[in-house]
Structure 1
């Protein structure tokens, strides 16, 4: 769940906080403006590439290379925006359960810990960019330093933004105490380096379990928790040049397929703004609004459809909850049950293309994106059917005497209005499967389609919202891609330690063959999903476990579906699942209200997951032979 900058404490020095606030706003305008322009440029470049190749049969040989260069800049500037706005993903379960004074200290400690990594890695980042100056890009024939410089520039801007935020904290005591604790921990590990080096693989537990766990539960953003553990492990226990950390960070953030992330996030915001999401929901409500639990079925169906468009779970929820929840509350639905079902549908729809998690799996494991897109539809239906069974049971006695049944003419009219919106997921999938566009480029087709529908069909297009949507997209992109980069560096550290080989031997030796391996994977990824969220867990463990799955006889697409659903259950299940708290924030419901009703939905998801794991056909039945 994204953190937020804490409020200024009483007794703050007005001059210092005022100056820091003005400087921070100036920095924000500069970085947010640049990030928004880069996102527009990415959309234009990829759209031009599709048009040139498919319509004019004259591909732009430089488009992917330029898009890759700009993408690293977009990701780093987006990370700056996310840090400045307090939107880097972090676990706040412990932070929100302590008193105001302790909460202020933990929030400040999260910032000083992040700042410590940035200061420690800055020199290596500059050195890395200088080394890349000797590499020439193949298509544009320019120095690769133009691309690699994004890393030290982004880190430098994050350092400046961190100091501004510390100045705005207002509590000198909290800043001094947090800074002292951070400095003491860093110096302690440095002094203990001679003791740690002889410990061998025990250091994996110290850094990749202990350091990560302490940081994550203390509220340090997940990306920085990974980065601190990796940097500390390499610096204190090995002789590996620290330049490697930056190189692996660059590698993780530079997969071209990840370009789909910002474009699909923007697409998700676009369909909400143009009224396409509202049109779909209105049609579904007219079909099912008169049956017991009807609007709950609509919520499940709407999440299925909208997830197929946006690829962003937060965007999905934000598009649906404000439209459906008021009417559901009028019918007597309890807020806790609403947020519980919303969270469950978040987990249920993780495999619906073009899911960002699917795209990430494809980028780090080499599994075909088109195959993942095809394989994700039916498993989500299986889990949706299990959720519907719980809805039927809970609402079997609902009083519908005051509910009007929509006449056929009204349903037909709403269907006609909704058809352009409902068609979008199928347009996107067809474009990928038929080879019109890659999984990276297809989002530009979706954006163009939504623009046309919003302007000409739905006549709902607020140009004033475009700039904030671009900035919001950049911030979320920076938070996600920075996690991927830091997790890639951490995965490299685990691999170099020999851990991957030992894990492979252990997993390969599990009794029960393919089903035994799947059972262990389900338990492992539910636990991982509750702590790391889907993307970091996939980047860390996907390259290690997918080859083992193939050796065990598990189809890679089938395994991807099982893993994604397991992580989704962990992600949206309280008390640790950060997705649950995100659903509560969007729904404006106290998290405590959803704790009791959510377990019935989570049990249904687990039953659905077992069915998907036991019947590979659900995932592979429609793949091309």
Structure 2
């Protein structure tokens, strides 16, 4: 029955059936073949999988990100980032990454980070003499940090599916997110220096202070949310609601860049994005039910441990699998499909569940800039009005450094777990 399930799923993927529909349809067909399973199970599993207080954090963090994206936050963060690193070689390229790091702590989404920052910086970089393909590539790569630095929607999904603490996952994602950001900045610096991309004027302390003052409300948001979660003031789900209220107050009443008439469009856009993710989860729950019923994760775990019991080799195999899966599946879909399979293997190999969650998200983030499904590449190329194939060569150095980052994070768990004191 396992071969039928995976065979149907692969066939549906090959004919471009949407991931959520493919998961649900393949599972339904297998359940119909098994006469002893009532089809009412499908409805029950789809409903109960999303009937979760913890999972409510997903739509609220998405809405908070949309509010901050529309509220003039990206412009203020770019100005502040420019005063920090704009005077170095390839200053604007570095500004792109630094701003993505700030915006990642607000949006929780890689695509939103790429769009919000790229819509301003890609045209600005091209105007200053940067190659268009390089400008697009650095923005797409910087956008991947959006799912690493909390709040992160993929980390929430992993926590819900794997039963890991979302608060711990958020804290564990901070240092790896900054680590990846710094590595991308170094690549941008060396490429820019080699190609002679210019510097910006050095900002005075007064200009830095002024830019910080204008951006301080945006910078404070992750401090308030993460501080509240880790300080035990509120749960991650309650923190997501606080983020929405904060975003409304800042964008609507303080910066005043969100008008009352803009709210319906923001709410509808957030609802659509949330519904897509929740529909994937609900359909994947049927798939997960079948996997568990047929004991497929246990069989895969036993098979892999039968090949090798070496924890290092197991971790290498898992990383390779995730890199391949991330190339073809959207991150949320990949997590809901692969987490139930890989978590038992990681646990059997003695890996910390929080550390594994961070590795999984960073791994899958590489797929966001890898053809053919790289969503960040599509977002950035649409902004730059450049064909996808023209970016492939420019994105390769960033893919290589991200793979190196994954290897380092995999074999140095202290980077992820340092703030948790584990």
Q: What is the TM-score normalised by the length of structure 2?
A: 0.94
Give per-residue Cα distances to partners, 1:567-588, cap 9 Å, x unaligned: 1112321134344324433544
How far has the Cα of 1:282 moved from its partner?
0.7
Provide closer, same or farther for how the CA distance between residues 452 and 347 of structure 1 changes in structure 2, counting only shifts above 3 A: closer
Matching residue of 1:601: 398
Provide closer, same or farther for how the CA distance between residues 391 and 401 of structure 1 changes in structure 2, counting only shifts above 3 A: closer
1:521 and 2:324 equivalent? no
How far has the Cα of 1:507 moved from its partner?
2.9
Q: 2:302 aligns with which of 505, 508, 512?
A: 505
Provide closer, same or farther for how the CA distance between residues 225 and 579 of structure 1 changes in structure 2, counting only shifts above 3 A: farther
The answer (yes or no) to whether the contact 2:330–2:373 under 8 Å persists in 1 is no
Matching residue of 2:43: 246
Q: 1:383 aligns with which of 180, 191, 194?
A: 180
Matching residue of 1:458: 255
State how far apart, in whole Å, the 2-side matches of 1:211 and 1:481 are. 22
State how far apart, in whole Å, the 1-side matches of 2:199 and 2:364 are. 41
State how far apart, in whole Å, the 2-side matches of 1:604 and 1:331 are. 26
State how far apart, in whole Å, the 2-side matches of 1:451 and 1:366 are. 31
Matching residue of 1:440: 237
State how far apart, in whole Å, the 1-side matches of 2:51 and 2:417 are. 30
The answer (yes or no) to whether the contact 1:531–1:571 under 8 Å persists in 2 is no
State how far apart, in whole Å, the 2-side matches of 1:253 and 1:402 are. 50
Q: 2:68 aligns with which of 264, 268, 271?
A: 271
How far has the Cα of 1:409 moved from its partner?
2.1
Matching residue of 2:100: 303
State how far apart, in whole Å, the 2-side matches of 1:221 and 1:495 are. 23
How far has the Cα of 1:451 moved from its partner?
2.6
Runs of at least 5 residues in structure 2 that lack an aligned partner in the other structure: none
State how far apart, in whole Å, the 2-side matches of 1:212 and 1:585 are. 30
1:207 and 2:5 equivalent? yes
State how far apart, in whole Å, the 1-side matches of 2:249 and 2:38 are. 51
Structure number, greater radius of gyration: 1
Matching residue of 1:427: 224
Q: 1:369 aligns with which of 156, 159, 166?
A: 166
State how far apart, in whole Å, the 2-side matches of 1:233 and 1:298 are. 51
2:237 alignment partner, SS class: coil
2:236 alignment partner, SS class: coil
Two-structure CA RMSD over aligned residues (Å): 2.0
Q: 1:231 aligns with which of 1, 5, 28?
A: 28
Matching residue of 2:155: 358
Give per-residue Cα distances to partners, 1:320-340, cap 9 Å, x unaligned: 111211211111222222222
The answer (yes or no) to whether the contact 1:288–1:298 under 8 Å persists in 2 is yes
Bigger CA drift: 385-394 or 397-406? 397-406
Provide closer, same or farther for how the CA distance between residues 470 and 457 of structure 1 changes in structure 2, counting only shifts above 3 A: closer
Matching residue of 1:481: 278
Give per-residue Cα distances to partners, 1:10-64, cap 9 Å, x unaligned: xxxxxxxxxxxxxxxxxxxxxxxxxxxxxxxxxxxxxxxxxxxxxxxxxxxxxxx
State how far apart, in whole Å, the 2-side matches of 1:244 and 1:618 are. 42
How far has the Cα of 1:398 moved from its partner?
4.9
Give per-residue Cα distances to partners, 1:538-588, cap 9 Å, x unaligned: 222323332332231111111111111111112321134344324433544
How far has the Cα of 1:211 moved from its partner?
2.5
How far has the Cα of 1:400 moved from its partner?
6.3
2:97 alignment partner, SS class: helix
Matching residue of 2:377: 580
Matching residue of 1:259: 56
How far has the Cα of 1:600 moved from its partner?
1.0
Matching residue of 2:268: 471
How far has the Cα of 1:377 moved from its partner?
0.8
1:376 alignment partner, SS class: helix
The answer (yes or no) to whether the contact 1:351–1:561 under 8 Å persists in 2 is yes
Flag the structure with more relative contact order, 1 or 2, with Cα contacts below 8 A and sequence separation at least 6.
2
1:509 alignment partner, SS class: helix
Q: 2:138 aligns with which of 341, 355, 369?
A: 341
State how far apart, in whole Å, the 2-side matches of 1:542 and 1:587 are. 35
Provide closer, same or farther for how the CA distance between residues 354 and 469 of structure 1 changes in structure 2, counting only shifts above 3 A: same
Provide closer, same or farther for how the CA distance between residues 404 and 577 of structure 1 changes in structure 2, counting only shifts above 3 A: closer
Matching residue of 2:413: 616
Matching residue of 2:16: 219
Provide closer, same or farther for how the CA distance between residues 252 and 536 of structure 1 changes in structure 2, counting only shifts above 3 A: farther
State how far apart, in whole Å, the 1-side matches of 2:137 and 2:197 are. 22
- Number of aligned positions between the proteins: 422
Give per-residue Cα distances to partners, 1:187-242, cap 9 Å, x unaligned: xxxxxxxxxxxxxx4xx33432x332332232221111111111111113553111
How far has the Cα of 1:347 moved from its partner?
2.9
The answer (yes or no) to whether the contact 2:100–2:142 under 8 Å persists in 1 is yes
How far has the Cα of 1:527 moved from its partner?
1.6
Bigger CA drift: 399-408 or 465-474? 399-408
Provide closer, same or farther for how the CA distance between residues 402 and 292 of structure 1 changes in structure 2, counting only shifts above 3 A: closer
Q: What is the TM-score normalised by the length of structure 1?
A: 0.64
State how far apart, in whole Å, the 2-side matches of 1:482 and 1:401 are. 46
State how far apart, in whole Å, the 1-side matches of 2:24 and 2:43 are. 10
1:328 and 2:125 equivalent? yes
How far has the Cα of 1:519 moved from its partner?
0.8
State how far apart, in whole Å, the 2-side matches of 1:437 and 1:271 are. 21
